Amino acid sequence: MFSRSMFKKLIALFTCVLLMTALGGLIWTRFIKPPVGDYEGLIVDRWAGYTASDEGRPYFRLLVERDTQERITVNIDAHTYHQSQVGMRIKSQKGKIELIDPKLKPYY
pLDDT in tens, 43-93: 999 999 887 776 778 889 999 999 899 999 999 999 999 999 999 999 998
Residue 108 pLDDT greater than 70, yes or no: no
Q: Where are the alpha helices (DSSP H) in 1-108?
A: 4-30, 78-83
Are 47 and 23 within one domain? Answer: no
- Structurally, how many domains does the chain consist of? 2
Domain range for 55 is: 39-100
pLDDT digits (tens, 9 = 90+) for 23-38: 888 777 666 655 567 8
Are 1 and 44 within one domain? Answer: no
Say if residues 57 and 50 touch (Cβ distance below 8 Å): yes
- Sheet of 71-76: strand order equals 71-76, 58-65, 39-50, 89-93, 96-100
Distance spanning both ends of the chain, measured CA to CA: 84
pTM: 0.60
